[in-house]
Structure 1
Amino acid sequence: MRIIGLLAWAGAAMAAPAHAAVTGSSAIGFATESSVEIAADAADVYALLITPGRWWSDAHSYSGDSANMTIDPRAGGCFCETIPSKDGASGTIEHARILYAMPGQRLRFSGGFGPLQSEGVAGTLDIAITPAGKGVKVTMAYVVGGYLRAGPDKIAPLVDQVLGEQLVGLKRAAESAQ
C-alpha cells in the first residue's frame, strides 16, 4: 500500500530536466541530483525560488495548490504550507527548515519531502545557482539517510523524478517571466 502511495506521489512528474540522476543508493539512504540551465539572471531565479507558489507543482502539495506554500529565506526559516479546510480549521505542514540562504547563490533545506516525512530519515536539499551560458545553472542535490520502510532503492528514483519536475517548473516560470 505504501508503494502505491509513493507511485501516486511521483505519478504526475513531467519530462526530466537536462540532467537528473540517482547518484548513490545503499541500505542506509540515497542521493539524487538534477540540474538545468535557465536563461535568467541569478537574482531573478533566486527571487522566484523563494516563491514556490509560482513554480512548484500543485500535484506535489498537500493542499492541492502550491499558492499555499511559502519559504522564509533565512536560517531557521520555514518552507511551509497552509492546508485550507472546508470546516474552517486550516492545517499546516512544514516541508523543510532553511539551513543556509545566500541570495542569488544557494538555498539549503533540511527535511523529508513528501512521503519521506513519515519515514525515519533526515534529508538535506541543496539548491545551487551558478553562472552558465546565457543565464544560470540551477542544481538540486538531495541526500537522504535513515530508515525507509520501502527501501532506498525503490524510493530514490521516484524522489528524483518529482524533484526534477519542480526544477522544470522553476525553469518554465523563470523563462516565461523574461
Structure 2
Amino acid sequence: MRLVATALLAFALATPASALVKDSSPSGFTLENTEDVPTAPAETWKALVEDVGLWWPADHTWWGDAARLSIEPRAGGCFCEIHGEQQARHMVVTFVDPGRTLRMTGGLGPLQGMGLHGALEFRLAPLESGGTRITLWYRVGGYTPDDLSKFAPVVDGVQALQLGGLARHLRDARAPATAE
C-alpha cells in the first residue's frame, strides 16, 4: 500500500491542481474536466482516437513512451500500451459514438493495481464558434481498505493534465506557422 500511496503522491506533485471533483466518498469518486478547443467535433474525435501518442503525457505511461499508446475506437477495443513483450491494457472501449462520445472502462495507473474500476468518457459537444467542448468524465469505485475520497484530487489533477494535453495538441495543430 505504501507503494501505491507513493505513486499517487508522485502524480499529485507532477500535475497542476484542479478543483473539479464532482463528488467523492470512501468508496469512490466522480471527476469532470472540460476544455474548449478551436477544432470541429470530427477533427477533435480524430485526434482523440488516432493521435493519443501525441497528446497523452509520456510520464503517465508504464514505459515512458506515449507513442506506444493506441485506442481502438470500437466496442471491445483496447486502450493499450505495447512495448515489445511489455504490454498493458489500460481500459476497454465500451461505447463509441464518433464525434460525440468515447466510453472506456477499467482502472488507470495505480488504480488498476488496487483492483479499482472506473468508467471514463470523453464527451464532445459542438460550440457556436465551430469549435468543440471536450468533457472528460471519470467515475471510479471498488473495494479497498483505503478512503478513496483522498485519492480524488490527485486523480483529478492527472485527468486535467491528460485533457490539457489533448487540448494543446488540437490548438497547436491550428496555430499558424511562424516564419523563421
The normalised TM-score by structure 2 is: 0.89
Q: Deviation at 1:133?
A: 4.3
Corresponding position: 1:40 with 2:39? yes
RMSD: 1.4
In structure 2, the partner of 1:66 is 66
Alpha-carbon separation, structure 1, partners of 2:9 and 2:108: 14
Tell whether the 8 Å contact from 1:25 to 1:156 is kept in structure 2 after alignment: yes
Residue identity in the other structure for 2:165: G
Distance change >3 Å, CA 64–CA 149, structure 1 → 2: farther
Going by fraction, where is strand more abundant, 1 or 2? 1
In structure 1, the partner of 2:107 is 112
Further displaced range: 131-140 or 73-82: 131-140
Q: Deviation at 1:25?
A: 0.8
Choose from 7, 10, 13 the match for 2:9: 7
Q: Deviation at 1:149?
A: 4.0
Tell whether the 8 Å contact from 1:36 to 1:171 is kept in structure 2 after alignment: yes
Alpha-carbon separation, structure 2, partners of 1:162 and 1:41: 25
Distance change >3 Å, CA 170–CA 91, structure 1 → 2: same
Distance change >3 Å, CA 170–CA 31, structure 1 → 2: same
Q: Which 5+ residue runs of structure 2 have no aligned equivalent?
A: 175-180
Q: Deviation at 1:71?
A: 0.4
The normalised TM-score by structure 1 is: 0.90
Corresponding position: 1:161 with 2:157? yes
* Percent identity of equivalent pairs: 39
Q: Deviation at 1:15?
A: 6.4
Choose from 125, 148, 154 the match for 1:152: 148
The SS at the match of 2:142 is: strand
Corresponding position: 1:171 with 2:167? yes
Tell whether the 8 Å contact from 2:27 to 2:149 is kept in structure 1 after alignment: no
In structure 1, the partner of 2:21 is 22
The SS at the match of 2:5 is: helix
Write out the 4+ residue segments of structure 1 that deviate beyond 4 Å after TM superposition: none
In structure 2, the partner of 1:87 is none
Corresponding position: 1:125 with 2:120? yes
Alpha-carbon separation, structure 1, partners of 2:144 and 2:80: 23
Q: Which 5+ residue runs of structure 1 have no aligned equivalent?
A: 85-89
Further displaced range: 67-76 or 4-13: 4-13
Alpha-carbon separation, structure 2, partners of 1:173 and 1:10: 23
